[in-house]
Structure 1
Amino acid sequence: MTPSFRLLGTRRFLPLFATQFLGAFNDNLFKQAMVLFATYSIFSDPKKEAAFNAVATGLFILPFFLLSALSGQLADAHDKARIIRLVKLAEIAIMLVGGGGLLLGNVPLMLGAILAMGIHSTFFGPIKYALLPQHLEGDEVLGGTGLVEASTYCAILAGTILAGLIDSRATAILVIVIALLGWATARSVPPAPPPGERPHLDLHIIRASIRLVSGTMHIPRLFLAICAISFFWMIGSILIIQFPPLVKNVFTADKQVASLFLAIFSIGVAIGSVLINRLLNGRVSARFAPASILAMAAALLLMGFASHNWSPAPAGELYNLKDFVAHPGAPLAIIALFGISVTGGMFVVPLYAFLTTTVEVDHTARTVAANNIVNSGAMVLGAVIAIGFAALGIPVQDALTSVAVLCLVAAYLAWRLHCACDAHDKSCGDDA
Structure 2
Amino acid sequence: MVTLLTTRRFAPLFVTQFLNAFNDNLFKTAMLFLVTYRLLADDPAGAAGLVSIAAGMLMLPFLLFSGIAGTLADAIDKAKIARVVKLCEIGIMALGAFALHGNSIPLLLAVIFLLGVHSTFFSPIKYAILPQHLDGREVLTGTGLIEGGTFVAILTGQVLGGLIAPDLAAIGILVVAVIGWLSARGIPPAPPAADAGPVDWNPWTSTLTILRGTYVNPAVRDATIAISWFWGFGTVYTTQFIPLVKGGLNASADVATSFLAIFSVGVAAGSIGVARLLKGQISARAAPWALIVLALAGVELLFALRALPVPAAPLGWSAFFAEPQAWRIVVDLFVLAAAGGVFSVPLYAIMATASGAHVRAGAIAANAFISAFFIVGAALAAGAAASGGVPIPVILVVTGFSGVLVLPQLLRLAAAKWTRPAALG
Normalised to the residue count of structure 2, the TM-score between the two structures is: 0.96
Q: Which moved more, 1:384-393 or 1:7-16?
A: 384-393
Residues 1:8 and 2:5 aligned together: yes
The reply to whether residue 380 of structure 1 matches residue 376 of structure 2 is yes
Judge which range, 80-89 or 242-251, deviates more.
Answer: 242-251
Q: Distance in 1 between matches of 2:235 and 2:97?
A: 27
Contact 1:293–1:410 (8 Å) recurs in 2? no
Rounded Cα–Cα distance in structure 2 between residues aligned with 1:227 and 1:69: 17
Extract unaligned runs of 5+ from structure 2: none
Which of 21, 25, 39 is matched with 2:22 structurally? 25
Q: Does the Cα contact within 8 Å between 2:14 and 2:146 map onto a contact in 1?
A: yes
Of the candidates 318, 331, 338, which is equivalent to residue 322 of structure 1?
318
The reply on whether 1:417 has 2:413 as its aligned counterpart is yes
Query: What's the counterpart of residue 77 of structure 2?
Result: 79
Separation of aligned partners in 2, 1:266 and 1:391:
26
Judge conservation of contact 2:72–2:200 (CA < 8 Å) in 1: no
Residue 67 of structure 1, aligned match among 65, 68, 80: 65
- 1:71-110 equivalences in 2 (<5 Å): 71-110=69-108
Identity among equivalent positions (%) equals 42
Q: How many residues align?
A: 420
Cα deviation, residue 397, structure 1: 1.8
1:246 & 1:410 partners in 2: Cα distance?
27
Provide the rounded CA distance (Å) in 2 between the counterparts of 1:181 and 1:38: 27
Matched, 1:239 2:237: yes
Q: Aligned residue for 2:55?
A: 57
Task: Determine helix, strand or coil for the equivalent of 1:385.
Answer: helix
CA distance in 1, matches of 2:278, 2:33: 41
Contact residue 232 and residue 410 of structure 1 kept, 8 A? no
Q: Are the equivalent residues in 1 in contact too, given 2:145–2:272 (CA < 8 A)?
A: yes
Pairwise CA distance, 1:426: 11
Alignment of 1:243-262 (within 5 A): 243-262=241-260
Alignment-derived partner of residue 187 in structure 2: 189
User: 2:335 matched to which residue of 1?
Assistant: 339
Check conservation: 1:294, 1:411, Cα contact below 8 A: no
Deviations 1:369-412 (A, max 9, x none): 01111111111110111122123211112112211221222333
- RMSD of aligned Cα (Å): 1.4
Paired with 1:344 and 1:111, the residues of 2 have a C-alpha distance of 31
Helix, strand or coil: the match of 1:362? coil
Secondary structure of the corresponding residue to residue 31 of structure 2:
helix
Match of 2:176 in 1: 178
2:195 alignment partner, SS class: coil
Matched, 1:213 2:208: no
Alpha-carbon displacement from aligned partner over 1:194-228 (angstroms, at most 9, x marks no partner): 12233122222122212321231232222211111
Which of 349-358 and 304-313 deviates more?
A: 304-313
TM-score (norm 1): 0.95
What is the aligned partner in structure 1 of residue 134 from structure 2?
A: 136
Amino acid at match of 1:87: V
Matched residue type, 2:200? D
Equivalent residue, structure 2, for 1:41: 38
Deviation for aligned residue 1:184: 0.6
State the one-letter code of the partner of 1:422.
Answer: K
Q: Distance in 2 between matches of 1:426 and 1:138?
A: 6
Q: How does 1:258-297 map to 2 (within 5 A)?
A: 258-297=256-295
Match of 2:392 in 1: 396
Q: CA deviation at 1:174?
A: 0.6
Question: Is the contact between residue 238 and residue 260 of structure 2 (CA under 8 Å) also seen in structure 1?
Answer: no
Residues 241 and 386 of structure 1 are in contact (CA less than 8 Å); yes or no, is this contact kept in structure 2?
Answer: no
Single out whichever of 363-372 and 410-419 deviates more from structure 2.
410-419
**Which deviates the most, 72-81 or 398-407?**
398-407
Aligned to 1:359: 355
Separation (CA, whole Å) in 2 of partners of 1:382 and 1:42:
29
Name which of structure 1's ranges 200-209 and 358-367 shifts more when overlaid on structure 2.
200-209
Q: Residues 249 and 310 of structure 2 are in contact (CA less than 8 Å); yes or no, is this contact kept in structure 1?
A: yes
Shift of 1:35: 0.4
With over 3 angstroms needed to count, the CA separation of the structure-2 counterparts of 1:426 and 1:261, relative to structure 1, is closer
The Cα offsets for residues 131-168 of structure 1, whole Å up to 9 and x where unpaired, read as 10011111110000000011111111111111121101
Q: Secondary structure at the match of 2:359?
A: helix
Which amino acid in structure 1 is aligned with residue 125 of structure 2? I
Structure 1 unaligned runs (5+)?
A: 428-432
- Distance in 2 of aligned mates of 1:198 and 1:345: 32
CA distance in 1 between partners of 2:205 and 2:196 (Å): 19
Contact 2:213 2:363 in 1 (8 A): no
Would you identify which runs of 4 or more consecutive aligned residues in structure 1 move more than 6 Å?
none
- Per the alignment, residue 122 of structure 2 pairs with 124
Aligned partners of 1:12 and 1:135 also within 8 Å: yes
Q: Any conservation in 2 of the 1:217–1:223 contact (CA below 8 Å)?
A: yes
Residue 20 of structure 1 aligns with an amino acid whose one-letter code is Q
Aligned partner letter, 1:291: W
Q: Please tell me the residue identity of whatever aligns with 2:377.
A: L
SS of residue matched to 1:23: helix
Amino acid in structure 2 at the alignment position of 1:303 = L
1:156 corresponds to 2:154: yes
Does the Cα contact within 8 Å between 1:291 and 1:411 map onto a contact in 2? Answer: no
Q: CA deviation at 1:416?
A: 2.1
Aligned 8 A contact 1:133 1:357 in 2: yes
Code of the aligned partner of 2:4 = L
Partner of 1:430: none
Q: Which AA in structure 2 matches 1:274?
A: I
Higher mean displacement: 303-312 or 262-271: 303-312
- Measured in 1, the distance between the counterparts of 2:53 and 2:155 equals 22
